[in-house]
Amino acid sequence: MDNDVWYSETIEAQPGINGNDALHTAAVYTDSYIGDIIVQGTLENQITGTTNWADISTTTLTGSETEPTPINFNGVFTYIRFKTTANPTSTISKILVRN
């Protein structure tokens, strides 16, 4: 794993209740984070070290954001996770997800 890339925990995307037009929303709470936040999803039923993840959405933050940054994306996924291109320690306090 690249030292500049960080991954969140995996989150169950609840594919059974979302149907084909599933709208997912994430709110990213940051404090001077500079870098990309990439939403990734998988259709696999079990998460292992060889799980195939696909990039769904990329949001670039400049560090000047003063409010939570919303990320909306559509799709039916088994699990989702977030990938960052910079160390989020002390610059991303939380990511809230609504499936």
Helix (H) or strand (E) holding 17: helix 15-18
pLDDT in tens, 12-55: 988 777 666 788 999 999 999 999 999 999 999 999 999 999 99
Burial of 26 (0-12, 13-18, 19+ CB in 10 A): buried
pLDDT in tens, 43-55: 999 999 999 999 9
Q: How far apart are the C-alpha atoms of 72 and 48, rounded to whole Å?
A: 26
Instruction: Answer whether 42's CB lies under 8 Å from 78's CB.
Output: yes
What is the reported pTM?
Answer: 0.89
Domains in the chain, start-ordered, CATH in brackets?
6-98 (2.60.120)
